[in-house]
Chain A
């Protein structure tokens, strides 16, 4: 037994270091999540005088037939897929640029972070104004080009409203990805590139063969968190379109928020939360499985 004394000591310290963080996570996350699972088995709404009445799986049954939920799920998926893809590409470009040394890099770095630094609720308003069909800058600029339709109702058309939301979101969150990737790029030793360049690799080849593989942990982390954030998108949509037109930009968070906070339909809202959460986990597990098939370690290890 004495053999493992050092290991045991190390583990004890490990638990000491880990536990505070876990307690905080439990404190903030465990109750709301557990509560949602519990409440989803009850009917608790204005019809029951806000008293919980056990109703088994009836909320889930109702959910399956709830077209609005599935539509919002679809909207959210489209939004998430398109915006994350654009953000990843742009964010990678930004990170590569910011990783170069040039005059005024500090200022450029700071300005690249600016969109992330501006409050979403406010910039949502600003974007709505920018996409306004009468006063908006977008239409004003487009109208200066010949053959362009003027006074496009950006936020009044389902597809265009989604597009406008995506533009605003890409603008807002590309810096998030860029700075995470930049931090990752910093940890790649310069000599790896030099060795590769000496081997006669083109910049594109060294990007694919050196940068991408070594950056995988950061890419995966950035993707994961952007996926979660994007799927939970709330304030931007709330301010820019309110879910309209005709519910075409209504996201899951908006729907659930309304169900719980405005309709006071707590049991059903909890069921919506549970299903969304489970679907998200499944999506990530699936993605992780596919990635590990591609021999990439999701958790960032080697």
Chain B
């Protein structure tokens, strides 16, 4: 029956190829342009000479003389260090966030606990607190625990800030999984933890990937905490490093090198997203229930 469904889905568009697919492609084109145009402008800027960047009229299709690699070479090999720092902090904070968030979300979705709604309410309320305003209190904690200039000073807050979102999203996914699956697993002899690891988690991969990507990107791009908690140059993350890129004067904003740094700093992220978006595949629970 499932096979029948799939083939049906393939033949379906053919019948209405005209109206439906035209609307779809118009939508796709609009979306791609909307999302990419400003980013591509940034890419173009990263290759333009300083003169071409501020030339009037605006240069959309630069000639060879308007193009340069200088902005990239000016970043220097040291920039990879910042990329590494960002990757490390983002990866660990994402793992921590998912590692703590998924069990918590499962518990809140399926295990009845006294005070459960209070906990849930607390998580909701905490998520409303503008995170920028946490920095002063956190600074004191960081200082007190002696975490200054330690990756943990970034990893822990990033995880915590993403935790409410992770918990709520995963919880709603756990709730949507058929309950029979868990009952079946219990009958088979899975303990709660094993069941979470072997059955529930594999089935919520789309949600895990989704929240994971969101958390990872947040950590990758966060600025204020990264600026405040880490001052040692070797441990700075990309956004802070970009803020340190200098022009010929303190007043000048060096658009070219900043654009280049953005491109270099975002490419790893894109590769990651490109790789993981396949995991957000349709119908991972198909076949679990019903004929």
- Chain A positions within 8 Å of B, measured between CB atoms, are 10-11, 13-15, 17-18, 20-22, 24-25, 27-29, 31-33, 35-36, 90, 93-94, 96-97, 99-102, 106-123, 125-127, 129-130, 134-135, 137, 140, 171, 175-176, 179-180, 182-184, 186-187, 189-191, 194, 217-218, 221, 224-225, 227-228, 231-232, 234-235, 252-253, 256-257, 260-261, 266, 273, 276-277, 280-281, 284, 299-302
Contacts and interface: CB of A to CB of B under 8 A. Distances in A.
Contacts of A225: 127, 164-165
Interface of B: 5, 8-9, 24-25, 27-28, 31-32, 34-36, 38-39, 41-42, 45, 54, 56-58, 96, 100-101, 103-104, 106-108, 111-114, 117, 119-120, 122-134, 136-138, 140-141, 156-157, 159-161, 163-165, 167-169, 171-173, 175-176, 191-193, 196, 206-207, 210, 213-214, 217, 220-221, 223-224, 238-239, 242-243, 253, 255, 258-259, 261-262, 265-266, 269-270, 273-274, 277-278, 280-286
A179 B242 contact: no
A232 B132 contact: yes
Given A11-B113, A123-B42, A183-B210, A114 B239 contact: no
Contacts of A99: 282
A77 to B, nearest CB: 14
B125 A281 contact: yes
B5 to A, nearest CB: 6
Given A17-B107, A22-B119, A121 B243 contact: yes
A224 B127 contact: yes
A41 to B, nearest CB: 16
Contacts of B265: 119
A145 to B, nearest CB: 15
Contacts of A179: 210, 213-214, 280
B280 A190 contact: no
B45 A27 contact: no
Contacts of A123: 38, 42, 262
For B36, B96, B130, B269, the residue with the greatest tally of chain A CB atoms inside 10 Å of its CB is: B130
Given A21-B103, A113-B213, A217-B172, A186 B137 contact: no
Contacts of B163: 21, 24-25
Nearest to A175: B35
Given A11-B114, A232-B129, 19 more contacts: A17-B104, A25-B163, A28-B134, A97-B31, A109-B277, A121-B221, A126-B259, A126-B262, A130-B41, A171-B35, A176-B214, A180-B210, A190-B283, A221-B168, A225-B165, A235-B224, A253-B133, A281-B128, A284-B128
Given A93-B27, A190-B5, A118 B42 contact: yes
Given A32-B134, A256-B133, A119 B278 contact: no
A218 B273 CA distance: 21
B169 A180 contact: yes
Given A115-B39, A125-B255, A126-B259, A21 B104 contact: yes
Contacts of B113: 11, 14-15, 18
B272 to A, nearest CB: 9
Given A117-B217, A121-B223, A234 B104 contact: no
Contacts of B123: 25
A10 B192 contact: yes
Given A14-B111, A22-B104, A106 B127 contact: no
Contact of A234 (B36, B130, B140): B130
Contacts of B270: 110, 114, 117
A187 B177 CA distance: 9
A38 B261 CA distance: 42
Q: Which of A110, A134, A261, A277 counts the most chain B CB atoms within 10 A?
A: A110
A228 B35 contact: no
B67 to A, nearest CB: 18
A257 B5 CA distance: 55
Contacts of B156: 24, 27-28
Given A35-B137, A93-B27, A97-B27, A29 B243 contact: no
Contact of B160 (A29, A97, A186): A29
Nearest to B161: A28
A277 B132 CA distance: 13
A108 B28 contact: yes
A111 B35 contact: yes
Contact of A110 (B120, B196, B273): B273
